[in-house]
Amino acid sequence: MSIKLIAAVLLVLGTTAPAFAADDLDALIGESRAAIKGFGASLKAELVAAIEAGGPEHAIGVCNMVAPGIAAARSIEYQGRVGRTSLKRRNPANAPDSWELAVLGDFEARKAAGEDVTAIDHAEIITENGARVFRYMKAIPTAQVCINCHGTDLQPEVAAMIDDLYPTDQARGFSVGDIRGAFTLRRVLEN
């Protein structure tokens, strides 16, 4: 994705999302799951290619430079905002808002109660500043490949690169099966 396209997408994302007349929660959830599937597949493909090309250090560049562009492109397709967040985030730009923070806490409680992390999600229609807004989150399970950059024993060159790019990094110490974070979607609906 070109820098000009990313800049144009980010400009669009800075504006209010278009309104939708969708009251069918099941339809909204289905669209959201499809958007997440596309975002996750695109991101995973980029990460796997980067690791194969040059190891985990190259994957850090994907998360730093490519992932925001993928999220921006998916946001345009979804006609809302698509992103990632976490209780232990790496990028401060991905900090959870109050709604996301509450849902992430609920996800952790559901995991602790034995729910399969791959199936954990949440959706609801809320009111924000007088507008009806559909919100959706899907837990991101920590996979083996994630441990290269989010585990406890990082390669020194990986840790150094992360420290350089993300001086306030909190996203380490994960184990396979943990909730790494969540995909998050937001779409304004017609009143």
pLDDT digit string, tens, across residues 47-86: 999 999 988 888 898 888 899 999 999 999 889 999 999 9
Torsion of CA 32, 8, 18, 71, to 10 degrees: 10
**Per DSSP, which regions of 63-170 are E strands?**
81-85, 121-128, 131-141
Number of folded domains in the chain? 1
Reported as a single tens digit per residue, the pLDDT across 106-140 is 999 999 999 999 999 999 999 999 999 999 999 99
The residue length of the chain stands at: 191
Residue 182 in tokens: 């969540």
Q: What is the extent of the structural domain holding 133?
A: 3-188
Separation of alpha carbons 67 and 50, rounded Å: 12
pTM for this entry: 0.84
